[in-house]
Structure 1
Amino acid sequence: MTFLTLLLQAAPADYTQFLFPVAIAAVVYFFMIRPQQKRSADTKKFRQALAKGARVVTIGGLHGLVIELTEETVVVEVDRGVKLRFDRSAIAREVGTKAADAAL
């Protein structure tokens, strides 16, 4: 037999050996890595788009109203006269705005 016929006969088995690891890598990327990157990008956009008057919750569960913003920090009023300064990364989510609360 020639080398070419031996190579052609062995080729399907060689490809199937590499197909499974490639498929596993694709599944891991599309179901684990890519969604995490999207969540991270969305969170970064949210934190950059914070504005005064937004009602927010910190990662520690503290609810308050944003009253002052700098590039790195956020001042949140948690009660009348009680103001706390947080890093922007400590803001977990927005629960509403002052305008939306006034409409209710």
Structure 2
Amino acid sequence: MFATPAFAQAAGSGGSTAAFAQFIPLILIFAIMYFLMIRPQQKRAKQHREMVASLKKGDQVITQGGVIGKVSTVRDDEIEVEIAQGVKVRIVRATVAQVLNKTQPVAANS
């Protein structure tokens, strides 16, 4: 019924390594989730921020709503997009989903 001192010492010595071993699967799951889900999403978000920041007049864009148009005016947080001749709409910059045609800067004649 009573535990001898030898049994009591053996039970306490392996406790810290066993507790750490229980966390290894949790750490592995987090690492897999980071590399398969979180990191690619952060990369796409960074590319979208750069694309939106580089918008300029003359770019042909698609909005998240599916509207295709040409940028006519660029302001701080919004842009004006011409969707048909004489029809312009103001949209928030962040709603641009894709840039179809980037305007090329005019080359200086030498």
Q: Is TM > 0.5 for Structure 1 vs Structure 2?
A: yes
How big is each residue's C-alpha offset from its partner over 1:1-29, in whole Å with a ceiling of 9 and x where there is no partner?
48479524x55543332110110011111
Q: Provide the residue aligned with 2:107 in structure 1.
A: none
> TM-score, with normalisation over the residues of structure 1?
0.81
Relative distance call for 1:98 and 1:38 in structure 2 (3 A) is: closer
Unaligned runs of 5+ in 1: 100-104
Q: Distance in 2 between matches of 1:89 and 1:27?
A: 30
1:63 lines up with 2:55 in the alignment: no
Q: Provide the residue aligned with 1:7 in structure 2.
A: 13
1:45 lines up with 2:50 in the alignment: yes
The count of residues paired between Structure 1 and Structure 2 equals: 98
% identical aligned pairs: 33
1:75 lines up with 2:80 in the alignment: yes
How big is each residue's C-alpha offset from its partner over 1:63-100, in whole Å with a ceiling of 9 and x where there is no partner?
0101100011100111111111100011111011355x
The structure with more radius of gyration: 2
Q: Distance in 2 between matches of 1:72 and 1:14?
A: 51
Unaligned runs of 5+ in 2: 1-5, 105-110
> TM-score, with normalisation over the residues of structure 2?
0.77
Q: Distance in 1 between matches of 2:102 and 2:39?
A: 31
Kindly report the root-mean-square deviation, in angstroms, between the aligned alpha carbons of the 2 structures: 2.1
Q: Distance in 2 between matches of 1:98 and 1:26?
A: 41
Q: Provide the residue aligned with 2:3 in structure 1.
A: none
